[in-house]
Amino acid sequence: MNPIAHSSSGVCSPSRYTLLTGRYHWRSRLQQGIVGLWESPLIPPGRLTIAGLARPHGYRTVCVGKWHLGWDWGISPEERKHFVGFGGQARGGAANLITTASDAHRATWQAVFGRPLGGGPCAAGFDT
């Protein structure tokens, strides 16, 4: 017997969503590509995942490795301007690229990265 598998996408975020939720990725808000760096979680609160399915049956669940399904960063619109323009991610072309971080950038990064980060694996049903 030859096992057969199918993925509805050839890239990571939609494939992870499908594996963890058992749903086609095109039933999510992600209709092409992958989840962007500062985007919110692709798996909505309350969506049953394989971890949530296993837990009531006595399993302890752990997520290890690349998540790439979004996070609850809690970045305000005012803070967001300090997260664009680095590493070739500028909108509007090369003229908007930033190569040196200012004191304002560093202060914003310290504030944002000092906050609790939600929306990851534990919010999707994993114990750890």
SS3 of residue 59 by DSSP: coil
**For the chain, domain boundaries:** 12-124
pLDDT in tens, 79-117: 988 888 775 555 555 556 777 889 999 999 999 999 999
Please state, in angstroms and rounded to a whole number, the distance separating the CA atoms of residues 43 and 47: 7
In the structure encoding, which two tokens stand for residue 46, read together? 């309350």
- How big is the CA angle at 7 (ends 64 and 71), to the nearest 5 degrees? 40
**pTM score:** 0.78
Q: How far is Cα 83 from Cα 80, in angstroms, rounded to an integer?
A: 5
